[in-house]
Amino acid sequence: MHAAYARRLLAVERTAEGNAHLGWLLAFVAGATNAGGFLAVHHYTSHMTGLVSAAADALVLGRHQVWVTAVGALLFFLAGAATTAVLVNFGRQRLAHSIYALPLLLEAACLLAFGLMGAWLASLQGLLVPATVSMLCFTMGLQNALITKVSRAEIRTTHVTGIVTDLGIELGRTLYGMGGTPMPANTTRLRLLGGLLLAFAVGGVVGAWAFKAIGYAATLPLAGALAFLGVVPALDDLTRARGR
């Protein structure tokens, strides 16, 4: 990944191409993190629907530890999304070029911590599941809020339901059209949505395979890619600040 490409992906002035490429990359990361995290703690952490349902089931069945874990995960996802909003607004107020880089750098730090500390957490009875689920949910909240702000709510990367729904709407529009007359397919939109779905699925396969092969360290390459992507515009801002 070249520095110029990293700058384009996180540029303040957004383009449809930049949004799509960033969305595909983050969908891959989300798929890999979600699948690898499931193998680690038997919980999916990239979408909140299942966690809210798990909390409801646990409440009714009296499974208090499961309920606490699910509610805590939901709150950490919320905290991650809020943190992204704070970091982006902080950067905007200072007219920084790295306003979208800070959440990515924090996400990279979380994945790095998971990769380095996962085995240690696994040795602590009762701590692995809540700590890991909370950390990964915070990470996914960071990421989903970032791509939402970058694309003005056109792209999601941490869950597939919305992607498949949008794909179905676009396909239905193409098949039926106005007044029963088929309309030309919006190939740009279909390519974006299809790419997000494929990236999440491929990321899931790669993440599951990597975790099975090397364990918690499987998140380290993901952390490295995100860190490189974020550090380029961050260093650009530091260079500008020193030159003033």
47-97 pLDDT, tens digit each: 788 888 888 998 999 888 888 888 888 999 999 999 999 999 998 888 888
**65 contacts: CB under 8 Å, gap ≥ 6:** none
The answer to whether residue 72 sits within a structural domain is yes
> Using an 8 Å Cβ cutoff, are 72 and 208 in contact?
no
Q: Residue 56 falls within a domain, yes or no?
A: yes
Per the prediction, the chain carries an average pLDDT of: 87
Question: In the chain, how many domains are there?
Answer: 1
Residue 194 covered by a domain: yes
177 domain-assigned: yes
Angle at 124 between CA 123 and CA 125, to 5 degrees: 110
In-domain check, residue 47: yes
Structural domain contains residue 17:
yes
- pLDDT, average across residues 132-154: 90
Distances in Å between the Cα of 195 and the Cα atoms of 20, 124, 134 are 8, 39, 28
- Asked whether residue 240 is assigned to any structural domain, the reply reads no
User: What is the span of the domain harbouring residue 77?
Assistant: 3-235
CATH number of the domain bearing residue 83: 1.20.1250
- pLDDT one-digit tens code per residue, 144-165: 999 999 988 888 888 888 899 9
Question: Looking at per-residue confidence, does 128 or 62 come out higher?
Answer: 62
- Which pLDDT score is estimated for 3? 81
Question: Is the residue at 242 inside a domain?
Answer: no
> What's the farthest any 2 CA atoms get from each other in the chain?
63
Please give the residue that has the higher pLDDT: either 33 or 244: 33
